[in-house]
Structure 1
């Protein structure tokens, strides 16, 4: 009987080991799946709006479609606080201001696209969207930025058809989760309060660096140290995507 008891104990012991090994294998598989791009080609088109709250990463993003003055003030503040960001540039604007594009890049910031003419894609046919994207891509390639992965639809306006065109062009749409509407110049304190109150792990903040914004650079002088005090880390969109699982906005 003792022999059979020992056999049963061994079977139980190895059974537990097998179950634990299987459980670990499943966890590893899930972890590897989490490292796959958040933009799968399976299913409906999607747009990234927020990263995971499991990581302290946040992304400052700036749109630029016109003007060549305020961007310098914003770059100075970012440099002073050692904060990196992702700039979404209109292709037509970038074509006119290659020196500023170079300065943004040299500041260790990431560069994304907003098409070429900065005309809402809701007003364009699919072939016109494609032409606009390809024209913008040609501009950035001439400026030495051949691998652009991220695009923000002009004016932030999109639908399923627009996302399908973006996906067909092997680009990925980026939206946001925090929007203080700084282009309306609502007041420096309002911009500061909204961002500091609403921003948490994984958030993508929408700001602007066109000449229409009059208060953003001053607001950043308070926002940047304030976000650091919340133990949040500034990252580019690429770092946000690679460093976490990301939330997506799906279009029905």
Structure 2
């Protein structure tokens, strides 16, 4: 007995379309979940990351002083905060190797805050490269490896900074919420400034000696974030495995 299977051409085409669509959907989801797309890339040139898609990242700039960093590390430890990002000036790191070692030992992420405290808007590309390269060398000597993030020392940058950082393999990180703790406006004011933070925000804080109220403001800040059901992560964790919002600099 012979059996004949007759395929309807129209149904076959519809089936193929469904299969192909399902394949590309699955592939897209795979890429979205497992492949990091650098936030600074794009046909219009490198961009600065200032916000992610989920969670919250606390970032601390340190450019000088040796009194305020340790109390902040103690507060983070007391509240079981295992993820934060510290942007360190290379010159500060050289002067305070023990504090750098402690930050690394506690498992926090380190980014580069240049070497000297200079406004990158006032420097040409060669001087920006020299400053970042000098910082890079300082951290190598301190055995701090795999640094991927850079923040402009004064927070001011343009395409020059972005291009140089990109060529050196760094992502420039800005922020979406400014605590203004360096102005020492009072603990309540700092907490109020950070209370505006929501999903995906990168928060700017300082652990330099000029920021005298940050360690005191940190516990209520942490409690506020936890009350919102948000997780504290490092900047790298925030921007990995997801597309990050970017801020284009003209």
Mapped contact 2:124–2:160 kept (Cα < 8 A): no
1-side partners of 2:19 and 2:26: how far apart? 11
Q: Which residues of structure 1 form unaligned runs of 5+?
A: 1-5
Q: CA RMSD in A?
A: 1.7
Shift of 1:39: 2.9
Shift of 1:7: 4.6
Matches within 5 A, 1:214-225: 214-225=212-223
- Count matched residues: 241
- 1:117 maps to 116
Alignment of 1:76 onto 2:74: yes
1-side partners of 2:38 and 2:228: how far apart? 28
Query: What whole-Å deviation, never above 9, does each CA across 1:209-233 have from its counterpart, x for those lacking one?
Result: 0011111111111110210111111
2-side partners of 1:119 and 1:145: how far apart? 22
Alignment of 1:184 onto 2:183: yes
2-side partners of 1:93 and 1:107: how far apart? 19
TM-score scaled by length of structure 2: 0.91
Q: Which residues of structure 2 form unaligned runs of 5+?
A: 1-5
Shift of 1:32: 4.5
Higher mean Cα deviation, 89-98 or 233-242? 233-242
> Secondary structure of 2:146's match?
coil
- 1:43 maps to 44
Mapped contact 2:39–2:48 kept (Cα < 8 A): no
> Secondary structure of 1:63's match?
strand
Matches within 5 A, 1:7-156: 7-8=7-8, 11-12=10-11, 14-34=12-32, 35=35, 36-40=37-41, 42-52=43-53, 55=54, 57-83=55-81, 84-156=83-155
2-side partners of 1:185 and 1:24: how far apart? 55
2-side partners of 1:117 and 1:43: how far apart? 29
Shift of 1:41: 5.8
- In terms of fraction of residues, the more helix-rich structure is 1
Query: What whole-Å deviation, never above 9, does each CA across 1:110-136 have from its counterpart, x for those lacking one?
Result: 000011112111121211111111110
Shift of 1:153: 0.8
1-side partners of 2:197 and 2:240: how far apart? 20
Shift of 1:201: 1.1
TM-score scaled by length of structure 1: 0.90
2-side partners of 1:232 and 1:159: how far apart? 32
2-side partners of 1:158 and 1:40: how far apart? 17
Alignment of 1:246 onto 2:241: no
Mapped contact 2:39–2:47 kept (Cα < 8 A): no
Shift of 1:187: 1.4
Mapped contact 1:44–1:251 kept (Cα < 8 A): no
> Secondary structure of 1:156's match?
coil
2-side partners of 1:113 and 1:80: how far apart? 26
> Secondary structure of 1:175's match?
coil
- 1:175 maps to 174
